[in-house]
Amino acid sequence: MTSDRPSAEALLKQAAAIYDADPELRRAARAVAREGAGFTGGGRWMALALGKLRGVAAPTPEIPWERWGFFKYGLCTLACAPVLALCVATGQWAWALLMVVAFYAIEAQMVFLFPVLLDQAPEPLSRAREHTVRAGGTWRVMRTVWVLAAVMIFGGLAGRGFVRSWCLGCLAVAIWYELIHGRGAWQTDRR
């Protein structure tokens, strides 16, 4: 398996090792959480993380993070509307589980959007989609992202810290992005 297709578990393991060993990443994450800085804070934190992975200063382009974040997750949420309409029309709420599939089918297309924006790539939506293809395509990326999202959302409930769990998922995406580009000296277990 190629280096740009590591398992979710390998990505998370590497993310945890990096995050837990770096006090600056942890301090910055706590500051973003305290400020409630939304997509802007998340984008700044991802810039710091990407800089750490690359061994350089964090990239600092001016990016309208809120606009991009709401666009990305707005599209993901909008993808759920047809399924919701089906549930309402039929009264069969078991179909609601398909909303998760619809949401993450769109999320998979843009999972690499924030790192692409930090690299100031032209046509960022197309570039993010290209990364999805290189990472194995929609279904493979969805399976990986489901695991990352589960850790991000439920890790805090399992006593692993909400901020830490969220950051591990974000850092795992940044590591994956770097591996797609053939950068990084990470030894990931490619199961």
**Residue boundaries of the structural domains of the chain:** 8-62+108-180
Spatial distance between the Cα atoms of 117 and 133, rounded to a whole number of angstroms:
18
Q: What is the dihedral sign for C-alpha 127, 129, 81, 42? A: negative
Any idea what DSSP says for residue 96? G
Most confident of 86-95, 125-134, 178-187: 125-134
pLDDT at 156: 86
Q: What was the pLDDT predicted at 59?
A: 82
Distances, alpha carbon 110 to alpha carbons 54, 136, 165, 177, in Å = 22, 14, 20, 12
**What is the C-alpha separation between 41 and 44, in angstroms, rounded?**
5
> How far apart (Å, rounded) are the C-alpha atoms in residues 27 and 46?
13
At residue 33, does pLDDT exceed 60? yes
What are 47-82's pLDDT values in tens digits? 999 999 999 998 888 999 999 999 999 999 999 999
Sequence-separated (6 or more) residues with CB below 8 Å from residue 132: 108, 109, 111, 112, 138, 141
Which CB contacts under 8 angstroms, 24+ apart, belong to 54-62? 54/178, 54/183, 59/118, 59/119, 59/120, 61/117, 61/118, 61/120
Q: If you average pLDDT over every residue of the chain, what do you get?
A: 91
Half-sphere exposure of 184 (CA within 13 A, CB side): 24
pLDDT number for residue 81: 95
